[in-house]
Homo-oligomer: A and B are copies of this chain.
């Protein structure tokens, strides 16, 4: 498992000439790091006098941030596996008509997974952004830069995941799947940009 590797070893494997893990796994990790920073900000706020009226909300946010981090860390490995199944499908034999059909179906199934995987990453990165947004004005101001970095990481994860959706979409023949995915991509980007900008503006205005 990739997430069992030491950070510096993960970094080395990522930089190697193997296409997986690649951008999709990095997008998932970026979202997870964002969720971890949200957890830290909650932990540095809970039980502090200035924020005691938000203690319940902060405790709920902490739990959700931990769940999001765990989910996104799983997706670091899942995304590399999704890429590898496409590659495996391309290597299937194609001598007979039946083999050609099976191979073609496996390739299509592989590409759908290679779209659904980053789409799932993008959804969860948006959840991290929504959560960070809720904590504005309700969490430790000493950790405001951490909340800002959480948002930047989640937004980079969202955008990065969507680049991975877009590079695989043209290979998919199922037009319903393509149009539904494109609609969702637009909605995710629209909300992500709006929420990300809101956090960025709040942090910029309140950080100095």
Check: A167 CB closer than 8 A to any chain B CB. Answer: yes
Task: Identify A146's interface contact among B22, B29, B43, B152, CB under 8 A.
Answer: B22
Check: A126 CB closer than 8 A to any chain B CB. Answer: no
Q: Are B156 and A30 in contact (CB under 8 A)?
A: yes
A interface bracket (residues with beta carbon within 8 Å of B): 35 or more
Check: A33 CB closer than 8 A to any chain B CB. Answer: yes
Closest partner residue, chain B, to A158 (CB atom): B152
Check: A163 CB closer than 8 A to any chain B CB. Answer: yes
Check: A106 CB closer than 8 A to any chain B CB. Answer: no
Cβ proximity bits A1-39 to B, threshold 8 Å, 1 near / 0 not:
011111110111011111100111011011011011101
The interface of chain A, by Cβ under 8 A from chain B, is 2-8, 10-12, 14-19, 22-24, 26-27, 29-30, 32-33, 35-37, 39-40, 43-44, 65-66, 69, 73, 76, 142-146, 148-150, 152-153, 155-156, 159-160, 163-164, 166-167, 169-170, 203, 207-208
